[in-house]
Amino acid sequence: MEPIINIRRLFLNVVGGLSLILGVIGIVLPLLPTTPFVLLASACFMRSSPRFHQWMHSHKTFGPIISNWEQHRAVSRKVKRRGAVLIVLSFTFSIIVVPHFWLKVGLLIGLVVLITWFVRLPIHESVDHGQENH
């Protein structure tokens, strides 16, 4: 059973690492969301690497996002506003760019589903408002 545990740990570390990289890229690239990738990385590292999980929790940018989600299953107003705008912008751009009508319809359906879920997420403001998701 030991090799299966090692393969699972390796898989979770790879997914966590890739998610963290995408989350970091999302800080500077407006069309890539930071919060979902950071939360996914945290969940992966929680099961595979306690050291990285602890590092993420103590990070000045990622820590408040993760703590807010784990404690309250909520995001800050700033994260929610930025996320909603970027979701709409990225889907709008994709709908304009894709050549096929059926792809446009699929993207529009995806947009409606995603934005409906996202705007329904609860809002919880951290005590330290200035630290979350710069």
The ranges assigned to domains in the chain are 2-131
32-57 mean pLDDT: 90
Question: Alpha carbon 103 to chain centroid distance?
Answer: 24
Residue with tokens 């590092």: 55
| Beta bridge mates, 75 | 123
**pLDDT score, position 127:** 59
Pair 77, 125: CB distance under 8 Å: yes
Q: How does residue 114 score in pLDDT terms, banded at 50, 70 and 90?
A: confident
Q: How does residue 68 score in pLDDT terms, banded at 50, 70 and 90?
A: confident
Q: What is the mean pLDDT of the chain?
A: 86
Pair 41, 63: CB distance under 8 Å: no
Model confidence at 132: pLDDT above 90: no
Q: How does residue 36 score in pLDDT terms, banded at 50, 70 and 90?
A: confident
How is residue 99 written in tokens? 């050549």
Model confidence at 108: pLDDT above 60: yes
14-34 mean pLDDT: 85
24-52 mean pLDDT: 87
**pLDDT score, position 76:** 85
